[in-house]
Structure 1
Amino acid sequence: MIPTLKELLEARERISGYVAKTPVLRSDNLDDILGARAWFKCENLQYSGSFKPRGAFNCVLQLPASQREQGVCTHSSGNHGKALAMVASKLGLPAYIVMPQNAIRAKVEGVLLWGGQIFYCDNTNEARAEALSRVEKETGAIFIPPYDYPPTIAGQSTVAAEFLEQVESLQVLLAPLGGGGLLSGTALSAKYFGGEVAVIGGEPTGADDAFRSLNSGKLVLSHQPKTIADGLRTTLGRLPFRILKEEKTEVLLADEEMIIQAMKLIWKHLRVIAEPSGALGLAVALAHPDKFRGKRIGLIISGGNIDLDLPLPWQQKPQ
């Protein structure tokens, strides 16, 4: 079921005491580079370092107390797992997180910091599903889906709903696209609260399953991503696909070099850290300048969880 306007409004009310109203930043220098007026919604400054607590809180807070007591579980490349561990900690619940063995260290540490218990698996959909099923059976925990679930999408929609109140008369909203929870929520908020604002998803060239899905009209399930943007390596979910298809949401691509350049520019001009996935909006705007020239654009920096013990991507020597 696609979340309704009523459910979007209820989600915002439900999570209002649990998540931060994140700031919007801008830079005249970035405007000059883009040839546009740009505002950046900093979900990298959200609790747990990404937008993910919005959906996680909206899901968990709707569970009956008898179900909550069993704990919660999920699969995640990092940010959703970290967010769910934080949500569980705040609500006094156990959290069990299935993560790929190649998960980013900073995200693994984030899950552990909030008391989450990690179960590692191979980096395949089959291994992930098998590990999650085993965790559910062994613990009795309730599965909280990271993106392909109406309450998750309703929670993520609050990012754009907030953004549209903070900045008037935006013509375009840009958000990264992996599983599709954030972008489909953004599309729904734009539909109900955004007037004529267009919604565009940013996807890595090396993980372009959503681009191919929306252009062909059929969900692409075979997927071998190769991108620095670890949060966007997952396949597009069925419900987000349906929403994005119905709302005629456009997806644009950016290559690895452009993603790294966007991360660097965000640090240089906004003085905040964006993880590769979080920089996709700016990467796409840089890669397709004619699409945005002269417009008022809003870009969602979805997260900032990177390993600060390693050189930042633009500081690393080419292999």
Structure 2
Amino acid sequence: MTTLRIPHADDVLEASRTLAGVAVETPVLRSEWLDRLTGARVYVKCENLQRTGAFKFRGAFNCLSRLDRTAYPGGVVAYSTGNHGQAIATVGKMLDIPATIVMPNDAPAVKITKARENGAKIVLYDRSRQSREEIAAQIAAQSPVDMIPPGDHPLVIAGQGTAAAEGLKQIGASGVTTILVPCGGGGLAAGTCLATEALNASAEVWAVEPEAFDDTKRSIASGTRERNALLSGSLCDALLAPTPAELPFAINRKRLSRVLTVSDRDVLRAIRFAYDELRLVTEPGGVIALASLLSQSDVVRGKRVLVIVSGGNVDPAVFKQALDIDVGAGPIDHAA
């Protein structure tokens, strides 16, 4: 595995050059109705429209395109709740790099299927009893492969940061006061912090977590990496890391301005809102930052907000659950 080092703002700029012409330049959408609901000027960065359906493609390509194939003839092994693994599998197929993906057996079937369709070897595990890091490490010890974690890799973090860098360029860096990002292990948040520095933007970066999985919020408060008491139990499967990843936390503890938490019900209502108002298909973990705007609009009133919708690989049953939800009460009242 690549020696751990904390990435810098220049790494995001280099990643942007690497991804030029490869990653999709995803659109930024505006909604007057969303502005009225929140009292803010909101820009929605649609990484659900990225290749593989999530921002994770950015980090995967930035990392695998630089792989030392002489040192790692067996390719790579990655562990992932889904989107990182799917991205590694896809990029591996693009670059003819063998990939093994360690995924929880309760990951959405669509994510497991897509990774497998792209030629990756899938190793399933029980997240309540087994450690994905240990399983990946065992595989790496037995074969000449590089281990590519979803957060603790400088090239991955830099690649993820290009989503915010791209959005800031599309809007104009001076036109944004606050950036809201989904947060699991913290790689997207950390990359976003670096992106603001790279573009000399003054915007604050706020992370958003599921209510019962607020390890980043507690870690920022305590100054040390805290763990979640639960390993499952939220619809936001992409954000259920047991603890903040080491490298992202080294950045986030100094640069994140705020961490918000959101309930699963608010996430479902945001999926419905994104579909009704923006015509976007989103997944729970990918839409959580938008959910925080809709459920806690008072905290962004008067601000100019870039919100990253990070993924759209939703399980059909969950999407149906969101479409069936009652949106007649609260801030998503379309009849208001």
Q: TM-score range by the shorter chain?
A: over 0.9
- Report the counterpart of residue 228 of structure 1 in structure 2: 235
**What is the distance in 2 between the residues matched to 1:191 and 1:239?**
17
1:66 is paired with a residue whose SS is coil
Deviates further, 220-229 or 299-308:
220-229
1:161 is paired with a residue whose SS is helix
- What letter is aligned with 1:193? L
**Paired positions, count:** 318
Q: Do residues 269 (structure 1) and 273 (structure 2) align?
A: no
Give the counterpart of 2:137 among 133, 140, 159. Answer: 133
**What is the distance in 1 between the residues matched to 2:111 and 2:259?**
27
**What is the distance in 1 between the residues matched to 2:58 and 2:158?**
9
Alpha-carbon distance, 1:24 to partner: 0.9
- Flag structure 1 segments of 5+ consecutive residues without an equivalent: none
Deviates further, 184-193 or 75-84:
184-193
Once the two structures are superposed, the pairs formed by residues 113-152 of structure 1 within 5 Å of their partners are 113-124=117-128, 126-152=130-156
Q: Are the equivalent residues in 2 in contact too, given 1:164–1:194 (CA < 8 A)?
A: no
**What is the distance in 2 between the residues matched to 1:160 and 1:311?**
26
Give the counterpart of 1:314 among 298, 311, 322. Answer: 322
When residues 311 and 182 of structure 1 are mapped into structure 2, their CA distance, relative to the original with a 3 A threshold, is closer
Alpha-carbon distance, 1:299 to partner: 0.5
Give the counterpart of 1:297 among 295, 302, 305. Answer: 305
Alpha-carbon distance, 1:285 to partner: 1.4
**What is the distance in 1 between the residues matched to 2:131 and 2:6?**
28
TM-score by length of 1: 0.94
Q: Are the equivalent residues in 1 in contact too, given 2:27–2:46 (CA < 8 A)?
A: yes
Q: Are the equivalent residues in 1 in contact too, given 2:29–2:46 (CA < 8 A)?
A: yes
Alpha-carbon distance, 1:7 to partner: 1.9
TM-score by length of 2: 0.90
Q: Are the equivalent residues in 2 in contact too, given 1:260–1:313 (CA < 8 A)?
A: yes
1:120 is paired with a residue whose SS is strand
When residues 242 and 125 of structure 1 are mapped into structure 2, their CA distance, relative to the original with a 3 A threshold, is farther
Alpha-carbon distance, 1:231 to partner: 0.4
When residues 89 and 36 of structure 1 are mapped into structure 2, their CA distance, relative to the original with a 3 A threshold, is same
Give the counterpart of 1:196 among 199, 202, 213. Answer: 202
Alpha-carbon distance, 1:162 to partner: 0.4
Q: Do residues 34 (structure 1) and 42 (structure 2) align?
A: no
Once the two structures are superposed, the pairs formed by residues 1-319 of structure 1 within 5 Å of their partners are 1-124=5-128, 126-168=130-172, 169-225=175-231, 226-234=233-241, 235-308=243-316, 312-315=320-323
- What letter is aligned with 2:219? S
**What is the distance in 1 between the residues matched to 2:148 and 2:7?**
16
2:70 is paired with a residue whose SS is helix
Alpha-carbon distance, 1:65 to partner: 2.9
**What is the distance in 2 between the residues matched to 1:289 and 1:166?**
24
**What is the distance in 2 between the residues matched to 1:48 and 1:175?**
19
2:10 is paired with a residue whose SS is helix
When residues 236 and 270 of structure 1 are mapped into structure 2, their CA distance, relative to the original with a 3 A threshold, is same
Deviates further, 115-124 or 67-76:
67-76
Alpha-carbon distance, 1:68 to partner: 5.0
- What letter is aligned with 1:64? D
1:305 is paired with a residue whose SS is coil
**What is the distance in 1 between the residues matched to 2:321 and 2:54?**
19
Q: Are the equivalent residues in 2 in contact too, given 1:173–1:298 (CA < 8 A)?
A: yes
